[in-house]
Amino acid sequence: MIDNFGKTGTLVVLSLVGAWLLFMVIGPQLIAIDYSFRPLLPLRKIGGAEDIYTLKNYLTLFSNTLHRSVFIKTIWSSILVTSIATAVCYPVSFYLARVARGAKLSLMLMAIVVPYWINELLRIFAWQLILSDAGILNQLLMGLSLIHDPINFRAGNSAVILGMVYAYILFMVFPLYNAMESLDQNQVDGARDLGASWPTIHWRIVIPHAKPGIAVGCIMTFMLTAGSVAAPQLLGSPSSFWFTQIIYTNYETANWNLGTAYSEVLALLSLLFIFIMLKLFKVGLKDFIK
């Protein structure tokens, strides 16, 4: 019996939670895992002799050079995006948490949050406007006679990375801000008083204190980036192919088996990154409050 709940209460609580876990969390995952271990077969052959459990789908990631290179590039790019986001947002978070006060603070916080109420796709699309051949940046550069032909900004990874950093700034700023806010100002003042330079103060006082925030921010950013579907679709070029796009292609061609296998790989990657981050920053799973 749950504390202070009667029989009906306990039943209701257990049913709702059970239904959610069973039908929305565990059930779908089990089905997906099942598909990922079965080979792609035409309809009439399903359930037949060839329908056996196999690692073939997962192995394709290693054997198919294109898939493999895309996977590795996705990981690498995601780490890059996370690092850039951390570097870009750290000063801002610090400023918000420790310097800005009162009306200025709430205004700046609002200024960061408000863009996020606008649909992610539209925001990324706005970058497409800026970076495309007929886009504003090219027109500006040509107008200033700095270049003659439009630069293809969208070639390679840069556009996607720029767009992703833009899209996920909120998820890095706020965890950092929350963590830094709780820092005792006396520690910083004391260090200044003892003659410490700003880089030292950050390295030895602020960063250690903000570790949970950094961990959460990196986790969120990495997860959103590695699993990002919209940004690569809108800003990408063939040479910046993203892992999620491979999954999407398989999904569209009804190759559930490969699609689920790759999405499970993505899930594992995400969990692995979280695990590494938690261990690196010595943070517990419980510190996950938004």
Partner 1 sequence: MSTSDKVLGWITHSYLVLFFAYLFLPLVFMSIVAFNSAEIPQAIPWQGGTLHWFHLLFQDEVMWEALLNSFLVAFAVVIISVPTGLCAALLLTRLHFRAKNLLYALMVSPILVPGIVLGISTFLFWDAQMNIPGGLWTAVMGQSSFIVSYCMLLIMARAQRFDRIQEDAAFDLGAGHGRVFWKITLPFLKPALISAAALAFMQSFENYNTTLFAIGIEQTLPIYIGTRLRVFISPAMNALGVVFICLTLCGALVYEFLRRKEAQ
Sign of CA dihedral 166, 128, 269, 31: positive
List 176, 214, 218, 224, residue binding partner 1 (CB under 8 A): 224
The size of the interface with partner 1 (CB under 8 A), counted in residues, is 87
From candidates 58, 105, 125, 211, binder to partner 1 by CB under 8 A? 125
**Do 98 and 185 form a contact (C-beta atoms < 8 A)?**
yes
Nearest approach in angstroms of CB 227 to partner 1 is: 2
Residue selected from 114, 144, 146, 194 as contacting partner 1 according to rule CB under 8 A = 114
The one segment of 55-63, 138-146, 187-195, 210-218 that binds partner 1 by CB under 8 A: 138-146
Q: Does 24 bind partner 1 (CB under 8 A)?
A: yes
| Residue 11 binds to partner 1 (criterion: CB under 8 A) | no
* By the rule CB under 8 A, 3 interacts with partner 1: yes
Q: How far is the CB of 174 from partner 1 (least distance, A)?
A: 14
- Residue among 74, 77, 85, 127 that touches partner 1 (CB under 8 A): 127
Looking at residues 198 to 217 of the shown chain, list those that interact with partner 1 (rule: CB under 8 A).
198
What residues numbered 234-263 form the site for partner 1, per CB under 8 A?
A: 234, 244, 247-248, 251, 256, 259-260, 263
The neighbour count for residue 260, using CB atoms within 10 Å, is 23
Q: Select the span of 79-87, 126-134, 148-156, 209-217 touching partner 1 (CB under 8 A).
A: 126-134
Residues 143-182 that bind partner 1 (CB under 8 A): 143, 166, 169
Q: Does 37 bind partner 1 (CB under 8 A)?
A: no
Asked if residue 191 binds partner 1 (CB under 8 A), the reply is no
- The reply on whether position 230 binds partner 1 by CB under 8 A is yes
Residue 115 sits in the site that holds partner 1 (CB under 8 A): yes
Q: Decide whether 19 or 276 has the Cβ nearer to partner 1.
A: 19
